[in-house]
Amino acid sequence: MQPETGISVDLTLIWAGIVAFAVFMYVFMDGFDLGVGILFPFAPGGERDRDLMMNTVAPIWDANETWLILGGAGLFAAFPLAYSILLPALYMPILLMLIALIFRGVAFEFRFKAHSSKYLWTSSFFIGSFFASFSQGLILGAFIDGFEVTGRDFSGSIWDWFSPFGILCGFAIVTGYALLGATWLIWRTHGALQDWCRSLAPKLLLGVLVFFALVSLITPAWNEVVRARWFTFPNIIYLAPLPVTTLLVSAWMWTAIRGGRDVVPFVLALVIFVLAFAGLAISLWPYVIPPNITIWDAASPPESQIFLLIGLAFLIPTILAYTAFTYWVFRGKLQEGEGYGH
């Protein structure tokens, strides 16, 4: 279905941008603190290092995770049809993600209050972080694969999300978040812990590139629309800079890690995620439920879109401002024993 009036085109596009922004902010921000959880059991200095690692994210993880709710609520508000199709279709991986996020979330509070049972909350934090990330990969894989829809309802089975491709995406996300986590820790810690992250980050980067390459090759091999979009002339010329830039940024990141830079690797890891996200958007555009439902089919009426947009125009910059403020308050390298101040 094509848009009827000029104004609704703009609004729906703006909303697609907002939801995409919220999802990206979530992937990036909760990505690095989930990554810290994924690296948790492997910390070279045992519980002491784990305390440090946890303290680098303890003051901010909650706000980071709120972007997930913003993404979900934004989908519900601006594209309710997509919300009411996606969620039943992704029932099981969403359930897995929620349970994992519960165990991981309470671990922040409980681990510092526990003594003899501390190890339980250490594993709860790791297992929760791992499965929350893995299930997000499963969701991504199912999304790329597309959904069976009849009328206004999901008509597939509760197991449709389960596929080798989804599992591949699961491991890709886990590796990607681990890279974000490792570069974050390079920035926020020092000494043995930082050295360990420095030696780990290049391996994770390599892993991420391999997974990205696999996903980028499998998707067009299976999906005609994606193939046509990327591998026809002249699109191939316009889109070629994307993979090329990814490789250049990766090379730069490699040298930055080796060269002892603190902040640059984290920023470049972020850039790699932006590029991957852009590639995904190009493949799937303009579908919110591939392969049939576009953003215009699923959009709320303009009355709902405008009502929210007026508020968001003020609120999103405000949120970003006070988020930046808290990051600034908790700036600097973590010292041992510092952090859990309540």
Partner 1 sequence: MELDALLLARIQFAFTISFHILFPAFTIGLASWIAVLEGRWLWTKNDLYKRLSSFWTKVFAVSFGMGVVSGIVMSYQFGTNWSRYSDVGGYILGPLIQYEVVTAFFLEATFLGVMLFGRDRVPPWLHFFATCMVALGTLISAFWILSANSFMQTPAGYEIREDGLLYPKSWWDIVFNPSFPYRYFHMVIACFLTTSFVIAGVSAWHLLNNRHEIYARIGLNMSLGLIAVLAPVQIFVGDLTGLNTLEHQPTKLAAIEGHWETHAGAPLILFAIPDQQAEMNHWEISIPKLGSLILTHEWDGVIKGLKEVAPEDRPPVWIVFWSFRIMVGLGMLMLAVAVTGVFLMWRRKHYTTRWYLRILQFCTPIGFAAILFGWVTTEVGRQPWTVYGILRTADSVSPAITGAGVLTSLIIFFLTYCIVFSAGIYYLMRIFERGPEAHVPPPDRSANRPKRPFSAAEEALEGPEDTHGSRTGPGPRPAPAE
- Residues 296-335 binding partner 1 (CB under 8 A) are 300-301, 303-304, 307-308, 311-312, 315-316, 319, 322-323, 326, 329-330, 332, 335
Segment interacting with partner 1 (CB under 8 A) among 60-68, 200-208, 223-231, 266-274: 60-68
Q: Which residue(s) pair with 149 in the sheet?
A: 154
Is 174 buried (19+), middle (13-18) or exposed (0-12) by CB count in 10 A? Answer: buried
How far is Cα 242 from Cα 175, in angstroms, rounded to an integer? 21
Give the binding range for partner 1 (CB under 8 A) out of 57-65, 167-175, 210-218, 229-237.
57-65
DSSP 222-283: H-HHHHHHHSSTTHHHHHTHHHHHHHHHHHHHHHHHHTT-SSHHHHHHHHHHHHHHHHHHHH
The span of 81-89, 242-250, 255-263, 267-275 binding partner 1 (CB under 8 A) equals 81-89
119 is a contact residue toward partner 1 (CB under 8 A)? no
Q: Tell me: does residue 66 bind partner 1 (CB under 8 A).
A: yes
- One-character DSSP codes across 276-300: HHHHHHHHHTTEEETTTEEHHHHPP
Q: What is the DSSP letter of 42?
A: G
Selected from 86, 182, 201, 215, the binder of partner 1 by CB under 8 A is: 86
Length of the chain: 342
Least separation in angstroms between CB 104 and partner 1: 8
Residue 133 beta carbon to partner 1: minimum distance, rounded to whole angstroms:
15
In whole angstroms, how close is the CB of 37 to partner 1 at the nearest point?
14
Q: How many residues bind partner 1 (CB under 8 A)?
A: 79
Tokens at residue 29, please? 């921000």
Closest contact distance (angstroms) between CB of 40 and partner 1 is 15
**CA distance readout (Å), 55 to 33, 36, 65, 78:** 10, 10, 16, 36
Q: Figure out which of the listed residues 24, 83, 130, 187 binds partner 1, where binding follows CB under 8 A.
A: 83
Selected binder of partner 1 within 7, 113, 203, 236 (CB under 8 A): 113
Q: Between the CA of residue 48 and those of 52, 109, 116, what are the distances in Å?
A: 7, 17, 15
Give the contact letters, 153-192, x = binds to partner 1 (CB under 8 A), - = no: xxxx-x----------------------------------
Q: Which of 23, 29, 38, 81 touches partner 1 by CB under 8 A? A: 81
